[in-house]
Amino acid sequence: MSVFWCHTALIDGDPVEGVRVSADADGRIRRLQTEVAASAGDVPLGLVLPGFGNAHSHAFHRALRGRTHDAGGDFWQWRQRMYAAATALDPELYEQLAHAVFAEMLTSGYTAVGEFHYLHHRPGGAPWCDQYAPHAMEHALARAARACGIRLTLLDTCYLAGGIGQPLAPEQAGFSDETAERYLERWYALRDSLTGYGDSVRLGAALHSVRGVPRAAITTLLAGLPSDVPLHMHLSEQPQENADCVREYGLTPTGLLAELGALSPRLSVVHATHLTETDLALLGAAGVTAVFCPTTEADLGDGIGPARRLVDAGARLALGSDQNAVVDPLLEIRGLEYGERLASGRRGRFSPAELARIATDHGYRALGLSAGPEETAGGLRVGAWCDLVELDAASVRTAGADPGQIVLAGTAADVRSVIVGGRVVAQHGLLVTPTGVTPSTAADPAVLLERALARLDTSTTVPRPASEVSR
C-alpha cells in the first residue's frame, strides 16, 4: 500500500489542507483523510490535483508541431501535411513516436489519454499482418503507453468515407476497414487481443465523424458495439461539415445523431464548435460530454465553441490535446476559459473549481475511468484511481497564487511529481523507473521525441497539394 500526504489538495476543485491519500494494491484510493498531519512513512507532496484526463489525442500529429505554421491556410491545408506523416509510419516507428508523445503527456500531468486511433492498415489499405502480428498498430500504442506508465483508452476509430457522399481519398485508404461490419469484426478481435495489458489499457470505440462514417454505417455500428464502452466522435468541427450534412440528410450532424439514437451520456463529441441552438438543446438533454481542444482549435483556426452554453444546457465538458501542438493540461484549461472570455466579453465564465473538474474528473469519465455515477464527484475520492499530480506552488508562475486558482496560473513546467495507480511515474520532467529517477536519456521525453522525429523525417513523403485532394 502507498500513502501520500498532501499539504494541500484540490478535492472537487476546492483546496483542502492536510490530505492523506492511501492507495490499495490495485492502485485505487482506499482511504481519504482530510485536515490530518503526516505520518511516518507517508510520501510528502505539496499542492496536489487529481490526474488530468486527456480525452482526445492523435499522437502522431505531434510530428507536425512547429512545422506547419509558415504557409497559412486552414484546417484543410494542414490536413495534407498530417496525411504525409501518417503514411510514413509503420508499427515500429509508431511505437517509438507514441512512447515519446505519451512520455511528454505524462511528465506534463496527463495521467490518462484517449487515443483517437485510425491508423489501422498500411497506407494503401493492405493489412500489416503479412509482416507483423495482427493489430500491429494498435498494440504499438498499447505497448508505448504501458512502457511509460500512462493509462490508455484506445478509441479504435471507424473511418469509411472521404466526405459525405465521397469515396476515400488515396491518403485515407489505410484508415478504413471498408465496411462497418469489417470494422466490428476487427474491433472484437482487437478487444480479445488486449486482455494482457490489465487495467493500464482499455478499449473504447469511435466513429470518425458524419463525414467519415455514412448514415447507414452509423446505425450498424451503434447496434454492433457494446453499450458499456466509451464512444467518441468528431462533431461539427468545420462549417463545411455542417453544410454537407444538411445538404445530404436535411439535418445538422447533431440532428442526424439524434435521429439515429446516438446521443446518450456515454457519447463524447469532440470539438462541437459550430452548433445551432437546436443542437445545443439536443446535446444537453442527452447528457453527452463535449470534448474541447482549445489549443488545437486555436492553432487550426477552427473557431470558439459554445462551452458555457453546452454546460448550461446539460452537457458535460472535458478537454483534449488533439493534435498535440501543445501538451499542457493547464494551458488547455486556460484556453477554454479565455475562449469564453473573448467570445462573451466577460471574465469568469467558469470558476476555477469547475475548470479543475473538467480537466480531471470529467476527462476520466469520458475515457471510461470513472469510479462512480456521481455527477459532481471530484477526482479524489474513495474507489477512484490513485492518480495524482503535484504542482510547484512557488514557481515564478505560481508564487502568490491562491491554491484554488492554481489552474489559471501554472503550466506543465510546474509539474513536480506524477503518480499513477499509487506509483510515482514521473518527477521533474523525467520518467521514473521502479527504482527511481534514472539519468538515462530514455527517461527524458525531449530526447525520446528528438529520436523519433529524426527517424520519421527520413520516412516522410511530400504531400500532394491540397487542390488535388477532395475535401
Cell of 387: 492518480
- Residue 295 to residue 316: CA distance in whole angstroms: 19
Of 299, 322, 392, 414, the catalytic one is 322
Contact status, residue 315 vs residue 268, Cβ threshold 8 Å: no
Contact status, residue 395 vs residue 413, Cβ threshold 8 Å: yes
Radius of gyration of the chain (CA): 21
Cell of 209: 465523424
- Residue 128 to residue 146: CA distance in whole angstroms: 22
HSE at residue 383, side-chain half, CA atoms within 13 A, is: 9
Contact status, residue 254 vs residue 228, Cβ threshold 8 Å: no
Q: Indicate the SS3 state at residue 451.
A: helix
Name the amino acid, one letter, at 90: D
CA angle 439, 443, 449 (to 5 degrees): 130
> Distance between alpha carbon 387 and the CA centroid of its chain, in Å?
16
Of 56, 117, 121, 271, the catalytic one is 271
Contact status, residue 209 vs residue 257, Cβ threshold 8 Å: no
Contact status, residue 71 vs residue 77, Cβ threshold 8 Å: yes
Cell of 82: 498530417
Contact status, residue 332 vs residue 326, Cβ threshold 8 Å: yes
Q: How far apart are the first and last CA of the chain?
A: 54
- Residue 50 to residue 48: CA distance in whole angstroms: 7
Contact status, residue 388 vs residue 79, Cβ threshold 8 Å: no
Catalytic residue flag (residue 130): no
Q: Indicate the SS3 state at residue 403.
A: helix
Catalytic residue flag (residue 271): yes
Contact status, residue 426 vs residue 150, Cβ threshold 8 Å: no
DSSP 337-387: HHHHHHHHS-S-SS-HHHHHHIIIIIHHHHTT--SS--SS--SSSTTSB--
Catalytic residues: 271, 322
